[in-house]
């Protein structure tokens, strides 16, 4: 079997390392992309159906039927996010990336989850 993905050159690994280190400091991916002179889509790897399944289910599927059900579940979620314009499919791959609207919504949700009611009330006033 031959490998169809891109090779990981030393330069690509170095760039990926710089991206990870900057994101680990809390810098937003858009700022990292601007600083390193890359597109913000390069800063994030994207998500696949398989990745979504690993995030949402603690144990791997034990039967082929269960694996098919989980794949269908993840496909419906991805389709719903695409319909709302929060993600877009990367042409020629099985990956999805956040759109600008998706990043805005994700940031708002994460901020609300990490904030207390008192902080949210003060921000709304």
The radius of gyration of the chain's CA atoms, rounded to the nearest angstrom, is 18
In this predicted model, which residue has the larger pLDDT, 6 or 35? Answer: 35
Mean pLDDT of 42-49: 69
Query: Average model confidence (pLDDT) for the chain?
Result: 79
Statement: residue 103 has pLDDT above 70:
yes
pLDDT per residue as tens digits for the range 19-34? 777 766 776 766 777 7
Domain boundaries, the chain: 8-44
d(CA 14, CA 73): 36
Please tell me the predicted confidence (pLDDT) of residue 102.
84
Structure-block tokens of residue 24: 């680990």
């Amino acid at each position: 079997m031959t490998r169809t993905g891109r090779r990981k050159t030393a330069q690509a690994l170095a760039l990926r390392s710089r991206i990870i280190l900057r994101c680990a400091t809390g810098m937003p991916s858009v700022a990292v992309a601007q600083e390193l002179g890359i597109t913000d889509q390069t800063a994030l790897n994207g998500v696949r159906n398989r990745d979504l399944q690993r995030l949402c289910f603690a144990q791997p599927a034990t039967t082929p039927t269960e694996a098919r059900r989980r794949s269908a579940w993840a496909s419906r979620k991805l389709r719903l996010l695409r319909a709302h314009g929060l993600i877009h499919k990367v042409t020629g791959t099985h990956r999805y990336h956040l759109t600008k609207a998706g990043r805005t919504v994700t940031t708002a949700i994460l901020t609300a989850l990490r904030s207390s009611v008192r902080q949210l009330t003060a921000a709304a006033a």
